[in-house]
Structure 1
């Protein structure tokens, strides 16, 4: 059990990459899936840094793509723990693009993810609490319980949906037979 408290800055992780043509779609902008992988990677590093143990992605609340990231830009991701529960951590990721010729920076995406710390026994394990130290961190920390409640409701709805739709594929005979009844 880890009962210490850590500041947000103790979990902060940055990742930066040069956007090259193979990273882009036919519009000359970074593939959304590539950015999603970067987001999950930087959030995983952040979760491990905060908990000092393995951590797994429990959910991605949202990824809001706000502006495109163009070829030849630098894409920079900043991740930090905003809130913790017993074994879980909410992580915020902010994505910026910088035009390397002009120095102009813009926020291109934001994301909230939840990670669960996993102990040596393979089970969820307690994580340190997190303490915000500036206005932005406090805002994200104070608004986290509402996001956690929304995650809980969404998870209940997802389980109900899974019960309803099952695991048969639309083209399977057993699915088509069940539909006829």
Structure 2
């Protein structure tokens, strides 16, 4: 284990960008894929800043688009490491959009990216341990451990079924009301 400790606040990164028509989808709102790209960029910057290493994205926990983002709004992404493992870090990201004419700010998205630190050979690299300095940081850390436990439980639930096709068909028809019409 690394005996280096860092404050969560030392990882803080903020990115602001004006949303242009080229970032929009067919309905004139900012494309979700473009927003995800920005989120991945800030997660990389945050994890790399904290670890001092090159980082790769291992997973993204749940992305809910809470409010649409309009062309012409100023989008601000705020990221901070909220949990560390051995070589992994969970980066919490909050996305807000501001109407630059009215000043109104809306929360558009929050998400959690798991980043893995890599050494020069591409192997997993240890990251500094985390110092938590506030009640909010402690709560974020604990909630992350709960999400990690849920992810593990979900993975166990999603193991391949044992090949009993009739059992699978019965489950589908009973639980979801779908019709199965195999040739």
Give the structure-2-normalised TM-score.
0.82
Where does residue 126 of structure 1 map in the other structure?
126
Report deviation, 1:155.
4.5
Give SS of 2:79's match: strand
What root-mean-square deviation, in Å, do the aligned CA atoms of Structure 1 and Structure 2 show? 2.1
Alpha-carbon distance in 1 for matches of 2:131, 2:65: 28
Q: Is the 8 A contact 1:91 1:115 kept in 2?
A: yes
1:102 is the counterpart of 2:102: yes
Q: Is the 8 A contact 1:19 1:73 kept in 2?
A: yes
Moved more, 101-110 or 129-138: 129-138
Moved more, 131-140 or 21-30: 131-140
Alpha-carbon distance in 2 for matches of 1:126, 1:86: 5
Report deviation, 1:26.
2.5
Q: What are structure 2's unaligned runs of at least 5 residues?
A: 164-181
Where does residue 149 of structure 2 map in the other structure?
149
TM superposition outliers: structure 1 runs of 4+ over 6 Å = none
Alpha-carbon distance in 2 for matches of 1:58, 1:51: 15
Alpha-carbon distance in 2 for matches of 1:136, 1:76: 21
Alpha-carbon distance in 2 for matches of 1:4, 1:102: 45
Give the structure-1-normalised TM-score.
0.83
Where does residue 112 of structure 2 map in the other structure?
112
Where does residue 176 of structure 1 map in the other structure?
none
